[in-house]
Structure 1
Amino acid sequence: MSLHTSDALWEAMRNPAFYPHTTHNIHVIHTHISTIFLTGTFAYKVKKPVNFGFLDFSQLADRQHYCEEEIRLNRRLAPQIYLEVVPIVQTGNTYQLGASATPDATIVEYAVKMRQFDPEQQLDKLLAADRLPLDCMDEMAARLTQFHQQAELAPTASAWGMPESILAPMQQNFAMLHQHLRAPDLAMRLSTLEAWTQQEYSRCHANLLQRRQNGHIRACHGDLHLGNIALIDGKITFFDGIEFSEALRWIDTASDTAFLLMDLEDRHQPAWANRLLNAWLNASGDYDALPVLNFYKVYRALVRAKVHALRLSQVHDTATRAECLQHIANYLNLADRYTQDRHPALLITHGLSGSGKSWGCRPLVEQWGYIQLRSDVERKRLAATPADNIYSPAMNARTYDRLAELATLALQHGYAVVVDATFLDITQRQRFQALAKQLHVAFLLLHFSGTPAQLQANIVQRQQVGNDASDADIAVLQQQLAHYKPLQDNEPCVTVRCHESLPLAQLQALLDCSEQPGVENAP
C-alpha cells in the first residue's frame, strides 16, 4: 500500500469519482483543525492530525472518537444536518469513502458526513451582505435561551465552572499567543490584557462561584460565533459546537453568549449586539451575567486572536499572513475596549399604557447600548402563576423593587440603563432619582405623552398583533387616567409625543452637560 498522507487524501477528495453520489462543484474549506469538502448535497469534515495542546487529533483513534462526539453533540443543535461518521479506506493507491470488503483495505481516516446547506446562509455572510435583519436578534436570543435551558447541567462533583477552571483556558490563551506573537508591541498589549484578566478574575471570583451554584454551567456550544450559525429551512440554526474539549464545552452560558456579542462587535455591528444582549436578558432573565460579561468578552476576543495566530503558523503566502496579523490586531483592540471604564446614566420613562414607551426606547438600546428594563417583562417573571393579578398594588411594589435591584446591578457594572415603566407614582420616580444620586450617575426622565384616543388605539393594535409583553388593556388605561397626576415642574424630563422618535441629540446634550446626580430644569 502506498504511504498515506493528508495531502494525498485531500487531492483524492477533490475528485468527484471519490464519492458514491453525484457531486456539484466540489469546494474545499481549510481551518486550523479541519478540512471540509462541500460536494453539493453532502459535506464531509475531516479532522487534521494536529496537536495544539488544547486539542489532540494526532492519533486516528482520537479523530474517530471526536468525529463521533461531533455527531452526538451537534445533533442537539442541528439533527437535520449531522448524519453519520463514515470511514475513509485506502487500497493501494486508491482512497474510498465508506467501508470496503477488500481484504487489504485499511481505514486511514474518518469524516463527519453532513447535509450540506447553502454557505451563503451563514450569518456572517448574511450580515456582510446586509441581509441579516436586526429583528433576527430576537429570534437568536430566544433560540440561545432555549438551548441553554435544555443543555445538561454540569455534574455537581465536577470541577467544570469552578473559577480556577474558568481561568485556566484564559491563561493557556495568553501562553500560546505570547509564543506566536513575538513583536514587542503585540507582546506588550498581551501583557496588559493578561494583567487585566487576572485582576478582573479576582474581582468577579465570587460572581463566578455564584453562577455555578445557580446552575449556569452547562454543556454549551463553546464556539458560538456567526460563522457557526446559519438560516436553515428559515430557522436560526447553531452548528459546529466544540467536541474536542470538555473544558471548553462545560462552561458558563454567559461565556457562550459573550462570544456571539463579541463577534457582532468585531464586525462593527453594535446595534445587532445591543439588540441581542437586551433580547437575551429579557428571555433568560440572567442579569447576573452583567458583572462577568466583559470578562468573558475579553477572553472570547483572545480566543479568536489565538485561532488566527495558529493559522499564521500554517500559512506562508504574504497576503494570507498579513490578513491573519490584521485580524489579531483587531481582536486585541476590541479586547482592550472591553477593559475601559464606562460612564453610565439612568433614564426612566413616564407615561400611560399605550404611549409608546417600549418602542420609543429602542434607539437607546440599539444605538447607545442601554440596558432596557421592562416592567412588563419583569412583572410576569415575578408572577407565580399566569392567573395572578399582575397589576395589583402588591405586584406593582414588587415589580418596582425588582427594577431598582436590576438597575443598581447594571449601573454598578458600567451599563447605562433605561427603566421602562409607567412611573405614575411620584414616590417611585423620586426613588430612582435618589438611586442615580447615590451611584453618582446622570439621571433623566422621558415623558411619553398622547391623547386618550391615541393611547386606546395603540393598545388595541398591540393586542391584535399579540407579540408584546404588555398585557395592559383598555380597563388598565381607564384606571390610570382616573388617577393620573402630571409631573412636577422640577422633575428633569424630556417630552416625547406619541409616534415621534426620541430626540437623541437633545438627550445627548443634556446628559453631556448634566452635573451629577441629575439633569435639572430640562425642557
Structure 2
Amino acid sequence: MRIEEKVAFLRKPDSYPDRPAQVEVIKTHMSWVFLTDRLVYKLKKPVRYDYLDFSTLGARYKNCEREVHLNRRLAKHVYLGTVPLTLEADGGLKLGGEGCMVDWLVQMRRLPADRMLDVAIREGTVSAEDVRKVSQVLADFYQFSPSLAISPAEYRRSFETDIRSTLVELSDSRYALPGVQVDRLMAAQRQFLTEQGDLLEQRAREGRIIDAHGDLRPQHICLISAPVIIDCLEFNRQFRTLDPVDELAYLALECERIGAPVIGDQILAHYKKAVRDACPTELIAFYMVFRACLRAKIAVWHTMDHDVEDHQRWLSLARTYLDQAERYVHHG
C-alpha cells in the first residue's frame, strides 16, 4: 500500500478512536506527524539513506519501538507506545485494528506548543526557574548514563571522518555556499585536531562518552512543571555516541541562533558544575564550530528532498550556521 493512501486516511479526524475536532499534519524529512486534540501519531516515511533504513515494514516497526524506548529516558510519560495501522476485511484502514498489518506509528501525548523552549524564547516567557529545571534534568541524565566503550583514537577519528564528509558536502557547487569560508572553517577544525586533538582523546579516557539524546534543540524541550525532552535521534546509535559537553554546545548554538545565547550558556555551566566536569574552553569552542558546520550540512541536505519546496530558506539557514561557526573560531 502506498504511503499516500495511509497519509490520506490519517488526515481524517474520524480515523482516530477519540474523534478529534481536527487533525494537524506536519511533514518532516523522515516522517509524517499527525496531531489530534490530545495525542500525536508519527508515521515513518519508507525511505532509505546511508544513515538509516525505513524501507521495510519490519524496519519501521523496530525503529518505532526503539524511538519509544529511548525517548522514555527523558520523556517517560509522553511516549505511550506503538500502534499498528491495519487493512481490515472490508478494505478499509484502521488504527489499532486486527487486520493485515500495513504500518506502525509512534503514539505520544501532545505537549503544549507555547511551552516548547524555542517558542518560549521567541515569546520571552522563559523563566530562570525553567532554565534551572531543564539544566537539572540534563545534568542528571548525563551523570547517570553509563559510559560507552570507545577508544580515544576512535573517538578522535570520528571527528576527522565527519569533518572530511562535511567539507565535501558544503563544497558542492549546487549549494553555492561561500567556498573560501567553508575552506577556512574546515582548516580551523583540522588544525584543532592536529594541535589539540589530545583534548578529545582525554574525554574518551575519562569515560565521558555516552549514549546521549543526539538532537538536543530548543524545539525538543518542553518547559512544563517537570520538563521533558523529546525526539531523540533514535535511528542511528553512532549519532548519539556523544560527549555531553558536545551535545550541550549544540544546544547553546541553537539557543544563540534564535536570540537567547545566555540560556544555552547557563545550561552548560550548570552541567559542568553539577558533575564536576572541567572541560577546557578550547574544546567547547571546537565542538560549537563542528556542530554549526554539521547543521549547515544538514540544512543543505533538505534541498535534495523532493518534498521540500523552499530551497532558499534552507540555503540561507546553512549560511547562518557557517557565520556562527566563524564567530566561534574567532572568539571561542
Partner of 2:194: 202
Q: Determine the C-alpha separation between the residues in 1 that align with 2:152 and 2:63.
A: 22
Within 5 A, what are the aligned runs for 1:273-422?
Answer: 273-314=264-305, 320-340=310-330, 342=331
Cα pair distance change 1:70/1:289, threshold 3 Å: farther
What's the TM-score, normalizing by structure 2?
0.91
Displacement after TM superposition at 1:135 (Å): 4.8
C-alpha change, 1:31 and 1:148, in structure 2 (3 Å) is: same
Q: Secondary structure at the match of 2:77?
A: coil
**Residue in structure 2 matching 1:118, options 109, 112, 115:** 112
Q: Does 1:78 align with 2:75?
A: yes
CA distance in 1, matches of 2:195, 2:257: 26
Structure number with greater CO (CA < 8 Å, separation at least 6) is 2
| Structure 1 residue corresponding to 2:92, chosen from 76, 91, 94 | 94
| One-letter identity of the residue aligned with 2:33 | I
What is the match of residue 31 of structure 2?
A: 34
Q: Which amino acid is the alignment partner of residue 172 of structure 1?
A: S
- Contact 1:309–1:324, Cα closer than 8 Å, also in 2: yes
Structure 2 counterpart of 1:269: 260
Contact in 1 for aligned 2:213/2:233 (Cα 8 Å): yes
Task: Quote how far apart the aligned CAs of 1:226 are.
Answer: 0.3
Within a 5 Å distance, the mapping from 1:422-437 to structure 2 comes to: none
Aligned equivalents of 1:159, 1:8: Cα separation in 2: 49
TM-aligned CA distance change 1:252 to 1:143, over 3 Å: same
Does residue 227 (structure 1) correspond to residue 223 (structure 2)? The answer is no
- Cα displacement (A) at 1:145: 1.0
In structure 2, the partner of 1:69 is 66
Letter in 1 for 2:13: P
How far apart are residue 263 of structure 1 and its match? 0.6
The within-5 A match list for 1:155-166 is: 155=149, 162-166=155-159
Matched, 1:214 2:212: no
**Alignment partner, residue 57 of structure 1:** 54
**Conserved? CA contact 1:201–1:295, under 8 Å:** no
Deviation (angstroms), 1:194: 1.9
Calculate the TM-score normalised by the size of structure 1: 0.59
Aligned to 1:389: none
Identity of aligned residues (%): 28
Q: Distance in 2 between matches of 1:139 and 1:14?
A: 36
Give the Cα–Cα distance (whole angstroms) in 1 for the partners of residues 258 and 235 of structure 2.
27
C-alpha deviation, 1:150, in angstroms = 1.4
Alignment partners' CA distance in 2, 1:229 and 1:313: 28
Name structure 2 gaps, 5 residues minimum.
Answer: none
Residue 247 of structure 1 corresponds to 238
Contact kept, 8 Å, 2:130 with 2:223, in 1: the verdict is no
**Aligned partners of 1:160 and 1:60: how far apart in 2?**
37
Change (3 A) 1:183 1:304: closer
Listed one character per residue, the Cα deviations across residues 394-453 of structure 1 (whole Å, up to 9, x for unaligned) are: xxxxxxxxxxxxxxxxxxxx6xxxxxxxxxxxxxxxxxxxxxxxxxxxxxxxxxxxxxxx
Aligned mates of 2:247, 2:153 — CA distance in 1? 15
Q: How far apart are 1:230 and its partner, in Å?
A: 0.6
Q: Could you tell me which of 130, 144, 158 is aligned with 1:136?
A: 130
Indicate how the Cα distance of structure 1 residues 316 and 189 shifts in structure 2: closer, same or farther if over 3 A, else same. farther
Query: C-alpha offsets along residues 229-257 of structure 1, whole Å, 9 cap, x if unaligned?
Result: 1123x122111111111111121111111
Q: Distance in 2 between matches of 1:178 and 1:63?
A: 33
Q: Is the 8 A contact 2:171 2:177 kept in 1?
A: no
Shift of 1:289: 4.6
User: Which residue number corresponds to residue 184 of structure 2?
Assistant: 192
Cα distance between partner residues in 2 of 1:332 and 1:312: 17
Q: CA deviation at 1:313?
A: 2.2
Q: Deviations over 1:133-152 (max 9, x none)?
A: 24533322222111101112
How many residue pairs are counted as aligned between the two chains? 331
Question: Partners of 2:318 and 2:121 in 1: how far apart?
Answer: 21
Cα shift readout 1:140-176 (whole Å, capped 9, x = no counterpart): 22221111011121036x7896211243334333334
Distance 1:94 1:172, change over 3 A: farther
Letter paired with 2:135: A
Counterpart of 1:11, as a letter, is A
Give the Cα separation in 1 of the matches to 2:6 and 2:180: 42
Pairwise CA distance, 1:315: 5.5
Structure 1 residue runs of 5 or longer lacking an equivalent are 343-413, 415-523
What displacement does 1:322 show?
A: 2.4
- Secondary structure of the residue aligned to 2:178 is helix
Distance 1:338 1:93, change over 3 A: farther
45 and 206 in structure 1: CA distance in 2 versus 1, 3 angstrom threshold = same
User: Does the 8 A contact of 2:23 with 2:36 survive in 1?
Assistant: yes
Bigger Cα Rg? 1
Q: Contact (CA 8 Å) 1:85, 1:112: kept in 2 or not?
A: yes
Match of 1:442 in 2: none
Counterpart in the other structure of 1:171: 164
Amino acid across the alignment from 2:323: N
SS of the counterpart of 1:248?
A: helix
| Residue type of the alignment partner of 1:143 | V
Residue 146, structure 1, aligned to residue 134, structure 2: no
**Aligned residue in 2 for 1:13:** 10
Per-residue CA deviation, residues 201-254 of structure 1 (Å, 9 max, x unaligned), is 22332111111111110111110010111123x122111111111111121111
Paired position in structure 1 for 2:248 = 257
Cα offset for 1:281? Answer: 2.4
1:453 match:
none
SS of match in other structure, 2:166: helix
